[in-house]
Chain A
Amino acid sequence: MQAEQSLLRGRARRAYEWGRLRHALGGSIPTLLVGGMVAALVREWSWPLVLGSILYLASVSLLWFGRSPGRSVLPGVVYGLLPLTGGVIARLHGHVCMGMSCYSTCMLYCVGGGVLAGLLVGRLAFKSDSPTAVFMSAAATALLTGAIGSSCVGLHGIVGMALGIGLGAVPHSLRLLGRR
């Protein structure tokens, strides 16, 4: 009887993990769609799809793990849409002309979007009970989401956006340190 119960408990545990994984696989599909949509929009397939797939895998892992990192996936992806949109706009309208001179807007959009995303991620982490886990998870998903858009303007776009997220997270990190 004891052995049977132990066996059933093991099966229940496996069912629980499989159920979580299935849920995570299904729940992460929109991240693949984001990559696909950007690829279709800018007519460049390699980087957006590669980064979209990495984002999907990261999202599946985090959602399967659950708790604070799992809960931070959706906000991270949503915040990452800011630098993503910036990157796509930079790709479609790469410069602004004022009078006789024209300026490239690529870094402006990527870094600006990154700073905004970083501020929001920092705010989310600051409000949560486990700020480090939330920050790491949300920042990673925001960075990957943003990178899908920023990859269209090259590697410097991704680096600029990553710097932006880092900069945006500084104020809340300082507040967190002060709270401790």
Chain B
Amino acid sequence: MKNIQNIGLSLFLIGLAIFTSLIFLGKYQLSSEVFESIVSNKGIKSELFINDIKNNVIDQEFSGPFSFSTKITSALESANEAHKKNEEWDKVIWDKPHSFSYEIAKYAGKGSIKENKGFYWWLTFGLGIIGALLFIIPNVIILGPPGIKNNGIYHHKAMNRGWIGWFAFIFLVSFYLLLYFRPDYIVNWTYTVDPISESLNGNLASQWFLYGFLYCTVMTVMAIRMYIKYRHNKYQVLRTTSVLFFQIVFAFLIPEILVRFEKPWYDFKNAFPLDYDFFYSWNLDELIASGGLGLFILIWGIVLTLVIVPVMVYFFGKRWYCSWVCGCGGLAETLGDPYRQLSDKTLKSWKLERWVVHGVLVFALIMTGFTLYAYFSESQYVIGINTQSIQDIYGFLIGAIFAGVIGTGFYPIFGNRVWCRFGCPLAAYLGIVQRFKSRFRITTNGGQCISCGNCSTYCEQGIDVRAYAQKGENIVRASCVGCGICSAVCPRGVLKLENGPELGRINPTEILLGNDVDLMDLLNKK
């Protein structure tokens, strides 16, 4: 069994190494026909840029994405600079330089990877998936009989901030930086999923298609790990199936198929304000222009946030969304599960969490308020502030850096729910409902707690569960996503996630159950 695991690990690492090396490989050559079609498609009017490219790029061979990208982006930037100086606003190219460079590079790439997309898919994704499964599946036997098997987690270099953890951290952060800010460097990765993209939506793969596909793949593989690890626990099995279903069907297949039928890309479960650009003017315009379906999406999106989300939180707690439906939660509960114990449990971090997560919610609401005001008043500026720049700041700081780079990149260091705990405005909103108006709680089983600390240690949201359990008090916290792991790891059967009557949901106690009845009455009822 150990040998199978070692073979699996080797295959996985080979796949990962090939995947990484693809960034540095490949040749780029832009022909004048291709360039002209791009120019006319995008309606580029900058003769400075066109000439620059014609003189310095066309028909030259570049041996890697970096030099190619530099040429394109510097041509674009210097052209824009000149046009802006001359106030030739119609000639300015407003695309983000590296996104623009990506579009050109996607066509300009040539060589083995582009010609053998399927083969390279197998070398990267294929080896990675097979290797990971060979590593994971033997755990059915290696872990021993079903039950909580957290043996050795704190001795492991991956799961206790050892060098493997730090390596994973660097890898994930780099991945997200490339994905968000340097898509033109990862054109080769997108080639490998072109065939899949074409079969789904009819287009070549963008970096976002690549991300969506990778996301589903990683979740599926790591969900198998969850199924094995928690095979004795039906709550975990069902929950894992649910997040996997919503990710693959709602966040990936349906939106891609919508695109195939020339409808807007839309994830029906992604609720505002997590879906922060829902009210952006381009989205509203696109939805309104898309006929009946667009209008349905518009109404659905509003009803989802204003009615469905809070009503469901009232009945089931925010878990129905955060750990049964949400894509961010889904990745956290699968890829992130090995890191859940790394969340900070101190009172300090709880205080920080409340400021930051509610701050993001306020930021999102203000940003959206400006956006809507600007949309209906048809002016770019609201009280002298450019709504576009607020949107850009939000998109950069929250949408990209917080949700992506920190949210997932920091899994191996700060645990798997950094985004959900500190950053997600939807989680903040759900949390307020959960704390003040919900039937959900984690019931503490009378006086049975032995303060061992497994619950707190494995709480991904950094809740000091034990602090409540050892007082015989139910856990009612805004941040609890109801993953159910505290209940699973408890060795004494103390914790149970329940939806019950609101009355008595919050039950502070002085004396725990099991002691003198008179004393409990005296102190607990005063």
- Chain B binds chain A: no
